[in-house]
Structure 1
Amino acid sequence: MYNEYASIYRQAGQSWLSLHMLNWLLPWLEQHELRPQTVLDLGCGTGDAAVALALQGYQVTAIDRSETMLAQARLHAELQHATVAWQQADLTTWQATTKHDLIISLFDTLNYLLEPMQLGHLFQQIAAALAPNGWLVFDLNTPLLYATWPEHNHVVLDRDDLYIYNALDFDQEAQIGIGKIVWFQRHDDAWQRGSETHLQAAYSDQHIVELLAEAGLSVVMRLNRDGEPVDLNEATRVVYLVQTNGVHNHSAAIPPILD
């Protein structure tokens, strides 16, 4: 996955959501005097969030499974004169080796871990990688979103030189979303077609809380993509703000400050 599509991903501007979430997350951290020094980006893709963080003075390590996506990320960092420690690794087997003040995994990266055991293992490694008082921030597509997928086609981009659509479906029994990305890219007077099929797991909020608890982590807040309180009964995407058990005084949680 994200091999042939890596260059298309950037052209389509599909890092916008990660950058959008950073726009409220970083001011929120600073508002609460929680400015981290070291950041770990899990599933960094083409590196837009990692580079944005590095340009603001954070020491950033960024990991992705796709070497093709990392090639795009390295090029982006070079063009922006940003320093990021890039690593190629599969999150299903990744082992923590260093501590970080902030760990992020944005744009439904964790939905790509199809087995609860895989996600539980990752949470265990994240717990080992969190510095004291550190934060984990990640977002997930919810089962409510995948319930809209069966036999649904969605146009992602329609330009003179590039057309992208997703052919979506959902395996209710397996709780697996099936997304076929199809694109047509214009080269001179000819169009080139490409496609990739992506699978994502639908995790309930209760399941996420249980897996986090097994790793010694607990949810401090649940927000929407704009950094506002979320209604779990209606949400198609949830942003989780997480700390190690016992670190945070949940009753003192303050709503985020938005730009």
Structure 2
Amino acid sequence: MTSYGKFAYLYDQLMQDIPYEKWLEITARYKQKYQVRGSRLLDIACGTGELSCRFAMEDYDVTGIDLSEDMLAVAKEKSDAEGLKIPYFQQNMAELEGLGQFDLITIFCDSLNYLSNEQEVIKTFEGVASHLEDNGLFLFDVHSEYKMEEIFKNQTFTYIEDDICYIWNCFEGEYPFSVEHELTFFVKDNQLKERYERVEEFHFQRTYSINQYKKWLEQTGFEALHILGDLEDKAVTGHTERILFIAKKK
């Protein structure tokens, strides 16, 4: 699984278009729809804690986990600044243990796609099941096969601002519907105004068919309740980029 390094400290600046409010709204709506009474929420792959903090501000009892020590350092600084008492733990999502029981568990922002193989996805679902109360909800989103093949593969993306820019190259991965991301950042040195630091990151993502995700959910004790296209109340189409699953523990 990929772990963010220096990118952790650039993440919020570069990812300002992330749909945090959509995830909040969907979680609240389906929590009410399925009458989930408790508000204990495990935010898996919490990253810089932006969504964890927003959940906490909406009166969820939040715990965050992430593989990256750097991401967690940013998350703790952020929640402390907001006066939020959110416990964070460094764990691999495929090796969840000792976190207690939760009413809701989320893996948002296509974080599940960073798992390198099928067995890791299954182990993640098993770990989620073991930490979720009966009738609790599990919500996660993934990249579609269409996005991996038509949006990412063999494409280059760029971002240019005065203090930071990047070149993001995407290459076809070794496995079906997998992509290797090669990112090069140039970040202005705050003390030496004309100097830029070069930062390189390499990330791998892989996705699977909807039927495969449903099969693994059923295999690990879940019922897939809803499958949403692009975080909207609409069916998945051949051009959907992000697929969101809402599942209930049986």
Please confirm whether the aligned pair reaches a TM-score higher than 0.5, indicating the same fold.
yes
Show the 5 A alignment for 1:75-86: 75-86=77-88
Alignment partner for residue 90 of structure 1, among 89, 92, 100? 92
- Cα displacement (A) at 1:66: 0.3
Tell me what 1:244 maps to.
249
Alignment partner for residue 155 of structure 2, among 152, 159, 162? 152
Aligned-partner SS, 1:5: helix
Alignment partner for residue 208 of structure 1, among 202, 213, 223? 213
Aligned-partner SS, 1:16: coil
Aligned-partner SS, 2:52: helix
Runs of 4 or more, structure 1, over 4 Å off, are none
Distance in 2 of aligned mates of 1:55 and 1:4: 27
Identity level (%): 22
Tell me what 2:179 maps to.
177
Distance in 1 of aligned mates of 2:29 and 2:54: 14
Q: Deviations over 1:90-144 (max 9, x none)?
A: 1122225421100001000000111111110110111111112210000000111
- Cα displacement (A) at 1:35: 5.0
**Mapped contact 2:103–2:132 kept (Cα < 8 A):** yes
* TM-score normalised over the length of structure 1: 0.87
**Mapped contact 1:40–1:104 kept (Cα < 8 A):** yes
**Mapped contact 2:46–2:66 kept (Cα < 8 A):** yes
Aligned residue type for 2:185: W
Distance in 2 of aligned mates of 1:63 and 1:213: 24
Distance in 2 of aligned mates of 1:117 and 1:4: 28
- Cα displacement (A) at 1:32: 5.5
**Mapped contact 1:165–1:181 kept (Cα < 8 A):** yes
**Mapped contact 2:42–2:62 kept (Cα < 8 A):** yes
Q: 1:39 to 1:99 in 2, by over 3 A?
A: same
Tell me what 1:68 maps to.
70
**Mapped contact 1:183–1:193 kept (Cα < 8 A):** yes
Show the 5 A alignment for 1:1-259: 1-14=3-16, 16-30=18-32, 33-95=35-97, 97-148=99-150, 149-155=152-158, 157-171=159-173, 173-187=175-189, 188-245=193-250
Which segments of 5 or more consecutive residues in structure 1 lack a partner in the other structure?
246-259
Aligned residue type for 2:195: A
Aligned-partner SS, 2:6: coil
- Cα displacement (A) at 1:164: 2.4
Matched residue count: 244
Aligned Cα RMSD in Å? 1.9
Q: Deviations over 1:53-105 (max 9, x none)?
A: 11222111110000000000000001111111100011122225421100001
Aligned-partner SS, 2:227: strand
**Mapped contact 1:177–1:202 kept (Cα < 8 A):** no
- Cα displacement (A) at 1:160: 1.3
Q: 1:225 to 1:174 in 2, by over 3 A?
A: closer
Which segments of 5 or more consecutive residues in structure 2 lack a partner in the other structure?
none
